[in-house]
Structure 1
Amino acid sequence: MGKDRAYFLLLNLGHFLDHLFTLIFATVAALALVREWGVSYSELLAYAAPGFFAFGAFALPAGWLADKWSRDGMMVVFFVGIGLASIATSFAQTPVQIGIGLFVVGVFAAIYHPVGLAIVTMKWRNTGMRIAANGVWGNLGVASAALLTGYLIDNGGWRMAFVWPGLVSILVGVAYAWLRWDGIWEEHRASKAPTPPEPMSPDYRRVLMRVSGIVFLTTAVASINFQSTTFALPKMFEERLSGLASRIAEMTAQGDVATVIGALAFVTFAVASLAQLVVGASLDRFGPRRVFMVVAALQIVFFALSPGLTDGLALAAALGFMLGAFGQIPINDFLIGKLASGSARARIYGVRYVVAFTVLAAALPLIAFVHARWGFDTLFLILAGAAAVIFCAVAMLPRELPRQEPVAAE
């Protein structure tokens, strides 16, 4: 394998691990700690919120450090730091201790999106497909969190669900440092040379501000849908697919229902993640406006259909809204990659993910509040309304992205 392909592979592995680490606790809480610690699911969610807050709040300083020091250097910090933090979290004895561990995991998890995506969008062409392929790896991390955690709960205990990914991440970090060691210091020297900003025409600035506003609005609203589906899906499946999971366990002689539920969540996430490849190819061909409206409409339909469904129908509806939730992920990153200045790209991605992951943290109390009082049926209707907001906002995007025209120096 050439160095260029190995580089892209390690960046993709980073996206996989990033989402894996942030969702390990979702399955641990739903399938293990509720019984082992005697704490309700809604109460346990409160201890995950600080980690998702850190996931968002530290994205901007991570992007700033990457632009000022080294993007590849920050990726090494990500791999090693999040691995050590995950292993440390496995020693938690109380909800408060696990909350502290998840906060530190969130601090290191915040590095990946502003830094990794800045590297992907600057180094390679065919931006839509590169972002989509990278996004599929991230979604496979989401899917594998439920699968691997369910398996490890049944076969080694919930603590191993934090230990093994931590060890793998540290090893990947060592491989990344070996591959990019010379590039880290070359990039550091290059970052010291200031790059003057390009002048903008008034028309371009106006359209850019309009597109930016839509990007950050849809980022915030889409994050509610993404967090609510990815974090709560194991619990949704436990409540609504218990009959189907029990029958599958009997048919396959697999007595552990937790493993079956994790496997069903994995299949749902993995199949839905393929939507990103379709979206990536469509972005380069049709542009973001039409593609974004299609994935928003998909969510509206399947969220609205989901209340009251169980077993096979609930699984089919979940696949439908996850296709939309995952399909929308690369679109805003595509827009930023096309419009953002290269010298500040990691910082701009940092702002985007501060918005996204701050909303992710805020979505956890929403999930807990709605689930405790009305259950998932009401949550589905709320998410359908959020998707409708996205659809309306995206309809205001220009049909073609604005292009910067040269401005004569005065």
Structure 2
Amino acid sequence: MALNSNDRSIAAFAMAGHALVHWFETSIPIFLVVWLAEFDVSVAVFGLVVALGYAPFGIGALPGGILADRYGTKRLILLCLAGMSAAFLVLSLANSIYAIAVGLVLWGVAASVYHPAGLALISTGVEERGTVFAWHGIAGNAGIALGPFVAATLLIGLDWHLVAALLAVPGILAALYGLGASFDPTAAVADDVDAGPDEALSASTLLANSRALFASAFAIVFVIVVFEGLYYRGMLTYLPEILHGLEAMAGLAVPAGLEGIQPSDYIYVGLLVVGMGGQYVGGKLTERIAPARGLVGIFAVLAVLAVAFVPVTGMGLAAIAGLCGAFGFFLFAIQPFYQNAVAVYTPADSRGLSYGYTYLGEFGFGSASIAIGGFVLGELSLTAFFAVIAGFAVGGGLFAGALLVESGRFVGTEEALETEAND
């Protein structure tokens, strides 16, 4: 079914926002290489500075969701785009590690509001929700791939200060586009449901809404998202390093002019590109398959892929590349299913809060797998690492199964939650 004009307007605005969040996010490590060469500061100290920027990205999701419910999703996304662009303009003027830290923290705070606001906007404003979730995810993957590619390419011939300023330009243009964009952010909810901004939102209301959410099916969805975040962060953080270390990479010829790039880098970028297809297929399937059923199936596949990784490493480069392609497809195909599950099992008037909790689980609690994975890889073995990763998928699958079994009890969840939150 073709998207109506309101769906198209929201899709274009949200896709631009999602792509740019990840455009900025993934360009920062490229700058880190340059900063380490320019400033007389240790890797450990600069790592802490960069962490200061990334930390608010996850921690700020919950307050970002609260602000989206209070002030409106479009306003929050515009502030996000403007704030991220301003942060990179600050970086373009930086001449010390302290100024860089200020720019990165500003970026993290601004970027943190996007996911709860953007997904809340899609869930309340779009009729063809699954299709737009799919395109929205594809846009995010495009940003993930293009951010470091463009930054690295520009840095070949330009000073990093100028490159930081140039990277801010798309964010400024997107903010200007958003100012003129016209759409109804609540077109997909019933006329008698108040899904608009709530200027009178109070601490007691937030507490009541939160209690209502976690007394419902959303509590299970939240745990599912945490397990997905543990799998996602652990896998994407350490897979490049794991691929670099595989002896099977040694024999691959690198194209002329790209001698400094390892073959594993191509495989990793390919994984992200294949992920775009996973986002699209997953989004389209949410219109045909119940969220819980889809989550059970994809978690099962992800568990099998993790268990299969070590045996496949002995089968040659083609087998490794194929397995990584499958990882990329299913790792991103699962995202539209949990995004849709949040929309199905939460009330429209608390959608920003719901997605705020969701991305606190995804980017906040999910990042624990970085520490867990580093310990397992350093102290145990590659086999143990993938066993732990597979365990995250099994945990998510079990909770998705519980959601599937209990789904009959949650019919009319939105209406029940709205009634409870308003009592």
- Quote the residue 1:18 is aligned against: 21
Q: For residue 258 of structure 1, what is the amino acid of its counterpart?
A: I
With 269-278 and 33-42 compared, the bigger mean Cα shift is at 33-42
Change (3 A) 1:2 1:340: closer
Change (3 A) 1:191 1:28: closer
| Aligned partner of 1:289 among 283, 287, 292 | 292
- Quote the residue 1:63 is aligned against: 65
Asked if the contact 1:75–1:116 (Cα under 8 Å) also holds between the matched residues in 2, the reply is yes
Matches within 5 A, 1:3-402: 5-26=8-29, 46-89=48-91, 98=100, 100-156=102-158, 162-180=164-182, 191=197, 209=215, 211-240=217-246, 243=249, 247-249=253-255, 253-258=256-261, 263-307=266-310, 309=313, 311-373=317-379, 378-398=384-404, 400=407, 402=410
Change (3 A) 1:131 1:362: same
CA distance in 2, matches of 1:100, 1:236: 33
Change (3 A) 1:4 1:127: closer
Asked if the contact 1:269–1:322 (Cα under 8 Å) also holds between the matched residues in 2, the reply is yes
Report deviation, 1:314: 2.7
Q: For residue 290 of structure 1, what is the amino acid of its counterpart?
A: R
Report deviation, 1:54: 0.7
Change (3 A) 1:292 1:40: farther
| Aligned partner of 2:412 among 404, 407, 410 | 404
CA distance in 2, matches of 1:119, 1:225: 26
Q: For residue 143 of structure 1, what is the amino acid of its counterpart?
A: A
Report deviation, 1:207: 11
Over the residues paired in the alignment, what is the CA RMSD in angstroms? Answer: 3.9
Change (3 A) 1:56 1:371: same
Asked if the contact 1:68–1:192 (Cα under 8 Å) also holds between the matched residues in 2, the reply is yes
With 72-81 and 227-236 compared, the bigger mean Cα shift is at 227-236
Report deviation, 1:14: 0.7
Q: For residue 166 of structure 1, what is the amino acid of its counterpart?
A: A
Runs of at least 5 residues in structure 2 that lack an aligned partner in the other structure: 186-195, 202-210
Asked if the contact 2:13–2:181 (Cα under 8 Å) also holds between the matched residues in 1, the reply is no
Q: Deviations over 1:84-105 (max 9, x none)?
A: 2134345666777655543322
CA distance in 1, matches of 2:383, 2:140: 28
Could you state the TM-score of these two structures normalised by the residue count of structure 1? 0.80
CA distance in 2, matches of 1:364, 1:291: 26
Asked if the contact 2:295–2:338 (Cα under 8 Å) also holds between the matched residues in 1, the reply is no
Report deviation, 1:223: 0.8
Change (3 A) 1:262 1:147: farther
CA distance in 1, matches of 2:198, 2:213: 31
The SS at the match of 1:286 is coil
Report deviation, 1:121: 0.9
CA distance in 2, matches of 1:32, 1:236: 24
Q: For residue 330 of structure 2, what is the amino acid of its counterpart?
A: G
Q: Deviations over 1:304-352 (max 9, x none)?
A: 2223726433322222222222111122210111222222211121121
The SS at the match of 1:396 is helix
Change (3 A) 1:261 1:87: farther
Q: For residue 81 of structure 1, what is the amino acid of its counterpart?
A: G
Q: Deviations over 1:205-245 (max 9, x none)?
A: 99984622221111112112212333444444444489479
Q: For residue 278 of structure 2, what is the amino acid of its counterpart?
A: A
Q: For residue 14 of structure 2, what is the amino acid of its counterpart?
A: L
CA distance in 1, matches of 2:284, 2:70: 33
Report deviation, 1:404: 1.9
Question: Aligned pairs, how many?
Answer: 393
Could you state the TM-score of these two structures normalised by the residue count of structure 2? 0.78
CA distance in 1, matches of 2:116, 2:292: 23
Runs of at least 5 residues in structure 1 that lack an aligned partner in the other structure: 184-189, 196-204
With 68-77 and 40-49 compared, the bigger mean Cα shift is at 40-49
Asked if the contact 2:271–2:324 (Cα under 8 Å) also holds between the matched residues in 1, the reply is yes
The SS at the match of 2:310 is coil
With 33-42 and 170-179 compared, the bigger mean Cα shift is at 33-42
The SS at the match of 2:179 is helix
Change (3 A) 1:316 1:35: farther
CA distance in 2, matches of 1:97, 1:300: 43
CA distance in 1, matches of 2:267, 2:390: 23
Report deviation, 1:169: 0.8
Asked if the contact 1:298–1:321 (Cα under 8 Å) also holds between the matched residues in 2, the reply is no
The SS at the match of 1:254 is coil
CA distance in 1, matches of 2:147, 2:11: 22
CA distance in 2, matches of 1:158, 1:311: 36
CA distance in 1, matches of 2:65, 2:212: 25
CA distance in 1, matches of 2:96, 2:380: 28
Q: For residue 119 of structure 1, what is the amino acid of its counterpart?
A: L
The SS at the match of 2:218 is helix
Report deviation, 1:120: 0.6
